[in-house]
Structure 1
């Protein structure tokens, strides 16, 4: 049966960012769904975001398209264009290489969304902080290239 029972998929709380950048996304809960679903061509992440918590640091990918669907609740999308309120049913596209740094902040009561993209094998940029993800190694580095 193709239905995935979310209760059987372990959630990971927090982020893999180095300190102090890990704190803002420390309360998010992510469940990776591609494995339980038998999917291998793209990543699928179910995210629970409490009120005020960040989905991530504001970022953009050089070679990874992302697509997000809000399932419930509300969030504020923060990107290069400003702030946009999102609610259940809203969809957002983040084209690869466009330089539009983005993240979500959980609204009143929090929110749940699903985001998917290709497996992360490309560089990721964080315009607001001294952080970059090396796509070749998957390692976080300072913007000058020195490792954390």
Structure 2
């Protein structure tokens, strides 16, 4: 298997959320490790969250499992049932189809790093319980819509 020169990879930002939501993930940067070696069945990212940043809006997936492993720093896992502090060596997983919105938030005063691993289903829908937002992936590609399916302008 090819070695990934992680140090040589650039941190990339952005998520593509529509304008009303984009600020939530400002301060989240990733190195797409799985893409670097051509993985297409699952993704692996090294992710950095700056103080005050969130991993995503609170969400859950219909078809894609997710897993995170904290490398350093401190993150708060926010779910329907409350909040849990995660530190280096802690992990969390999110089973596809479980309607429990989740996100990671860095409420500390220093950056945190974690690995995120997730399935890459060709057809997917993600739900955002706190926001008028849905993510759809199908034969037409990936897009964000309002919950009723109408597109964002």
**TM-score, normalised via structure 2 length:** 0.91
Structure 2: tracts of 5 or more residues without a match: none
Structure 1 residues 3 and 72: CA distance shift in structure 2, 3 A: farther
Tell me how large the CA RMSD over aligned residues is: 1.4
Matched, 1:144 2:148: yes
User: Could you tell me how far apart the structure 1 residues matched to 2:107 and 2:142 are?
Assistant: 30
Matched, 1:125 2:127: yes
**Contact 1:24-1:57 within 8 A present in 2 as well:** yes
**Structure 1 residue 4, shift from structure 2 partner:** 2.0
Aligned to 2:137: 135
- The offset of 1:61, in angstroms, is 0.3
1:95 aligns with 2:95: yes
Mapping of 1:1-148 within 5 angstroms?
Answer: 2-108=2-108, 109-120=110-121, 121-136=123-138, 137-148=141-152
Structure 1 runs (4+) greater than 6 angstroms displaced: none
Residue 2 of structure 1, CA deviation: 4.1
| Counterparts of 1:45 and 1:77, CA distance in 2 | 18
Q: Which runs of 5+ in 1 are unaligned?
A: none
Aligned length: 148
**TM-score between the two structures when normalised by the length of structure 1:** 0.93
